[in-house]
Amino acid sequence: MKKVLVISGPNLNLLGLREPDIYGNRNYDALVEFTRTALTDCGFEAEFYQSNHEGDLVDKIQEAYGVFDGIIINPAAYTHTSVAIPDALKAVGIPTVEVHLSDINSREEFRRHSFVSPIAVATICGKGFDGYKDAAEVLRDII
């Protein structure tokens, strides 16, 4: 069975508590459960990883080489600041879908630029949890 790694960046562990008007009331465990179901429905085995630390996210992406067939990543705030994360994704060459719960294009100006988008096979934003289902379907269609 093909394997997909779902990576969540900083503060996504605080889903439910964090700015619920933007990110909703459901917590990180609910996101994991929702996304696991979506990936299972698409025929994938799923693994989840969340960290608040950029280097740990880079380590996890490097360790994915040869193990995972696809990645779904919400780099959270590192979307807008990190060069190391897209560099790692490019290095391992694993098809990656970028997801954001909120619509980063209709918020503050600094959220409009993503360093990850150029290396992602698709970017899905503004659809809440459903964006993870869309990401699973994108990966189902290409891997």
Is residue 4 a contact residue for ligand DQA (CB under 6 A)?
Answer: no
Q: Least CB distance from residue 118 to ligand DQA, whole Å?
A: 16
CA distance 27 to 25: 6
Cα distance from N-terminal residue to C-terminal residue, the chain: 11
92-111 mask for ligand DQA (x: CB under 6 A)?
A: --------xxx-x------x
Active site residue 49: no
> Applying CB under 6 A, which of residues 35, 79, 82, 123 lies at the interface with ligand DQA?
79
Separation CA 67–CA 92 (nearest Å): 10
- Look at residue 53 and give its three-state secondary structure: coil
Catalytic annotation on 28?
no
In DSSP terms, 125 is beta-bridged to: 100
CA distances from 14 to 4, 26, 70 (A): 23, 10, 25
Which of 13, 50, 51, 74 binds ligand DQA (CB under 6 A)? It is: 74
Q: How many CB atoms lie within 10 A of CB 1?
A: 7
At which residue do the structure tokens 């880079």 appear? 58
- Shortest spacing between CB 66 and ligand DQA, in angstroms: 27
Under the binding rule (CB under 6 A), the answer on residue 11 touching ligand DQA is: yes
Residues listed for the chain: 143
Cβ proximity to ligand DQA: between 70 and 131 the closer is 131
Structure tokens at 31: 């996101």
Stretch that binds ligand DQA, among 25-33, 49-57, 59-67, 69-77 (CB under 6 A): 69-77
Q: Known catalytic residues? A: 23, 100
Q: Which residues bind ligand DQA (CB under 6 A)?
A: 11, 74, 76-77, 79, 100-102, 104, 111
